Homo-oligomer: A and B are copies of this chain.
């Protein structure tokens, strides 16, 4: 029923906002000079660097033009650098600097703690149902 979907989206945007604020608040509290968006990029690079901008864009649901901007900003801060892929010269592979890796050792535990604290207030038995709900919505919107 349409009104349920409307309500769900409303609440989804609410969570997106409170999540964002929680992240920003904790970055600040820990004196970490990163924006929410930069962090989104870095999280993926801490898992695996040397991936190109388009891959990062896809993983973070961002536009490739946003990636140009964000990678510029992260480069300026000395956290990452671009390296042209010798096999396919259209690609810029993005690598962490030593400083970029170091940030990870500080920030990843902070993130883990945030997720852990949130998890303790959630009834995890509903996880699968809720993830499916999100997937169904995502597929629906992609076709509309």
Contacts and interface: CB of A to CB of B under 8 A. Distances in A.
Interface of A: 1-9, 11-19, 21-22, 25-26, 61, 112, 114-124, 126-127, 129-144
Contacts of A114: 144
A8 B12 CA distance: 11
Q: Determine how many copies of this chain the complex contains.
A: 2
Given A26-B144, A118-B137, A144-B117, A15 B15 contact: no
A15 B25 CA distance: 24
Contacts of A122: 4-5, 133, 136-137, 140
- Identify whether the interface residues of A are mostly helix, strand, loop, or mixed: helix
Given A19-B9, A124-B1, A124-B4, A118 B140 contact: yes
Contact of A138 (B9, B14, B123): B14
Contacts of A22: 141-142, 144
